């Protein structure tokens, strides 16, 4: 049975196509820098945005028109699985991601919840087998249920902490069963609403304890997924502990967790933290922590997580530039943590939005690859820092200098090297030429 009757398989038709339901730039089998686009771009469907959420916002009820609206309860959960695999198939998405509560109702007890999960995971597993689709990552939602009002691993209520541990344990087991390539932690309530009532140190210590237990349990059950933390600075809480890449790295270093985790970085979370996405990617990359991407974009004039589909080719280019410089994402991929606007409420919009995002990333990939193949920026950077490859600069890098030796050099250096222009505007022109030329 088809849930999405209006749309068939979405195919590549090229940049001049007038067919709304065709790719203009994403050509899965096209080879870029020696690999297929589809290998570079391990796109994943976000279960929650595509199958669960339906367009409510803080001032408005749901608007979405969806083909499963005649179902409820566990039948609804099953219908969503089927619709999801149909969607992935038609869109050519090879991966998906989910939170535990996305796939099934929680029921009235942990036992019931886990039983529901098992039922749906059975169905997911059989769909995976028949379709070849893969699990990029799963995670436990520990922020929606009222029990997590004060946090999960950072809660002030030890019983809630135990509940969170049970959910994570189940999540790891599900991940292992479905062959998940990664496992994600996003601490939506791991932060504070007010410092006046918060023991920040105990909360962070407890989060670290939970992470160590998760690492141990994954090892115990032989689940070798890459663990990922997804930073976000705020929303829903006033302040989340995993504020950004650097903050999360400092936490992982402090608690001796850095070797077990990488980062799942999201574009909109980056900008909410005051950074460009490429900044966050660069910080992760030079620290060996770049794990996976949540692809979306924010609105720079809005102060909340708008989770828009990525449609900006500049951003996509600079994103994939970092990914290519990182030799790809390893086990990671590119999850569309993006939702259709509330006023794009028809099922067709789900396709149109994913096409928009996939085309944007495809275009960005090709531009980034060309920039790297031509060493367009690398040549400039190599030349720019060349004074550290010889003489006193090489001594600095080799650790052979002291303040005294450098001071002596400086005092006696009658013709210091002149600075040269950083040429930012010209580099931006070159970027435009690569994108539009």
Active site residues: 99, 102
Q: What is the DSSP letter of 57?
A: B
Which residues pair with residue 298 across a beta bridge?
none
CB 410, min distance to a second copy, A: 4
Q: Is 266 annotated as a binding residue?
A: yes
- Interstrand relation of 191-192 and 239-240 (parallel, antiparallel or unpaired): antiparallel
Q: Which stretch binds a second copy (CB under 8 A): 73-81, 87-95, 261-269, 390-398?
A: 390-398
Which of 42, 66, 90, 279 is close enough to bind a second copy by CB under 8 A?
279
Based on the shown chain and the rule CB under 8 A, indicate whether residue 126 belongs to the binding site for a second copy.
Answer: no
Based on the shown chain and the rule CB under 8 A, indicate whether residue 387 belongs to the binding site for a second copy.
Answer: yes
Site for a second copy in 239-258 (CB under 8 A): 239, 243-244, 246-247, 249-251, 253-254
Q: Is 230 annotated as a binding residue?
A: yes
Q: Which is nearer to a second copy, 136 or 160 (by Cβ)?
A: 160
Q: Which stretch binds a second copy (CB under 8 A): 71-79, 82-90, 327-335, 414-422?
A: 414-422
Based on the shown chain and the rule CB under 8 A, indicate whether residue 197 belongs to the binding site for a second copy.
Answer: yes
CB 103, min distance to a second copy, A: 17
The CA-atom distances, in angstroms, between 19 and each of 331, 357, 372 are 34, 16, 32
Which of 61, 129, 130, 222 is close enough to bind a second copy by CB under 8 A?
61
CB 408, min distance to a second copy, A: 8
Which residues pair with residue 264 across a beta bridge?
292
Based on the shown chain and the rule CB under 8 A, indicate whether residue 325 belongs to the binding site for a second copy.
Answer: no
Any residues with CB less than 8 A from the CB of 55 and at least 6 apart, and which?
62, 63, 64, 340, 342, 345
CB 146, min distance to a second copy, A: 4
CB 329, min distance to a second copy, A: 19
Which of 9, 35, 202, 256 is close enough to bind a second copy by CB under 8 A?
202
Q: Contact at 8 Å (CB) between 192 and 200?
A: yes
Buried b (16+ CB within 10 A) or exposed e, 173-200: bbbbbbebbbbbbbbbbbbbeeeeebee
Q: Measured at the alpha carbon of residue 23, what is the angle toward residues 63 and 352, in degrees to the nearest 5?
A: 5
Based on the shown chain and the rule CB under 8 A, indicate whether residue 15 belongs to the binding site for a second copy.
Answer: yes
Any residues with CB less than 8 A from the CB of 280 and at least 6 apart, and which?
231, 244, 245, 265, 269, 270, 273
Based on the shown chain and the rule CB under 8 A, indicate whether residue 193 belongs to the binding site for a second copy.
Answer: yes
Based on the shown chain and the rule CB under 8 A, indicate whether residue 172 belongs to the binding site for a second copy.
Answer: yes
- Interstrand relation of 134-139 and 95-99 (parallel, antiparallel or unpaired): parallel
Q: Give the closest residue to 277 by CA, choosing from 322, 308, 309.
A: 322
CA distance 51 to 49: 6
Which of 9, 35, 219, 238 is close enough to bind a second copy by CB under 8 A?
238
Residues that bind a second copy (rule: CB under 8 A) add up to a total of: 155
Based on the shown chain and the rule CB under 8 A, indicate whether residue 396 belongs to the binding site for a second copy.
Answer: yes
Site for a second copy in 68-107 (CB under 8 A): none
Which of 8, 20, 73, 179 is close enough to bind a second copy by CB under 8 A?
20
Q: Contact at 8 Å (CB) between 251 and 241?
A: yes
How long is the chain?
A: 437
Q: Is 305 annotated as a binding residue?
A: yes
Q: Which residues are annotated as a binding site for Mg(2+)?
A: 230, 266, 269, 294, 305, 307, 337
């Amino acid at each position: 049975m088809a849930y999405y009757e209006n749309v068939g398989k979405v195919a590549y038709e090229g940049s001049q196509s007038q067919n709304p339901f065709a790719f203009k730039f994403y050509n899965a089998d096209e080879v870029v820098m020696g690999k297929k686009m589809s290998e570079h771009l391990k796109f994943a469907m976000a279960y929650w945005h595509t199958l669960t959420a339906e367009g409510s916002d803080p001032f408005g009820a749901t608007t979405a028109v969806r083909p499963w609206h005649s179902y409820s309860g566990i039948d609804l959960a099953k219908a969503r699985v089927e619709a999801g695999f149909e969607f992935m198939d038609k869109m050519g998405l090879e991966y998906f991601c989910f939170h535990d509560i996305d796939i099934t109702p929680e029921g009235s007890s942990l036992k019931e919840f886990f039983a529901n999960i098992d039922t749906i995971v059975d169905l997911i597993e059989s769909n995976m087998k028949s379709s070849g689709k893969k699990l990029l990552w799963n995670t436990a939602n520990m922020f929606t249920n009222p029990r997590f009002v004060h946090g999960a691993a950072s809660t002030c209520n030890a019983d809630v902490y135990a509940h969170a541990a049970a959910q994570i344990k189940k999540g790891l087991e599900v991940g292992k069963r479905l062959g998940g390539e990664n496992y994600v932690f996003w601490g939506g309530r791991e932060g504070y609403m007010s410092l006046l009532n918060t023991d920040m140190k105990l909360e962070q210590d407890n989060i670290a304890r939970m992470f160590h237990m998760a690492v141990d349990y994954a090892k115990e059950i032989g689940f070798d997924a890459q663990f990922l933390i997804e930073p976000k600075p705020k929303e829903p809480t006033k302040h989340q502990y995993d504020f950004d890449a650097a903050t999360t790295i400092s936490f992982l270093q402090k608690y001796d967790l850095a070797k077990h985790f990488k980062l799942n970085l999201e574009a909109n979370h980056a900008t909410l933290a005051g950074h460009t996405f490429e900044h966050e990617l660069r910080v992760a990359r030079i620290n060996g922590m770049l794990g996976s991407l949540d692809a979306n974009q924010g609105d720079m004039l809005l102060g909340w997580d708008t989770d828009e589909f990525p449609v900006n080719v500049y951003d996509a280019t600079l994103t994939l530039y970092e990914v290519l410089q990182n030799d790809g994402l390893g086990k990671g991929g590119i999850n569309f943590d993006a939702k259709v606007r509330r006023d794009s409420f028809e099922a067709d919009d789900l396709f149109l939005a994913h096409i928009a995002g996939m085309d944007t990333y495809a275009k960005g990939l090709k531009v980034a690859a060309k920039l790297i193949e031509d060493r367009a920026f690398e040549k400039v950077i190599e030349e720019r820092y060349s004074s550290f490859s010889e003489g006193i600069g090489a001594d600095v890098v080799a650790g052979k200098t002291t303040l005294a030796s450098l001071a002596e050099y400086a005092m006696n250096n009658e013709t210091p090297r002149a600075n040269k222009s950083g040429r930012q505007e010209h580099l931006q022109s070159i970027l435009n030429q690569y994108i539009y030329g």
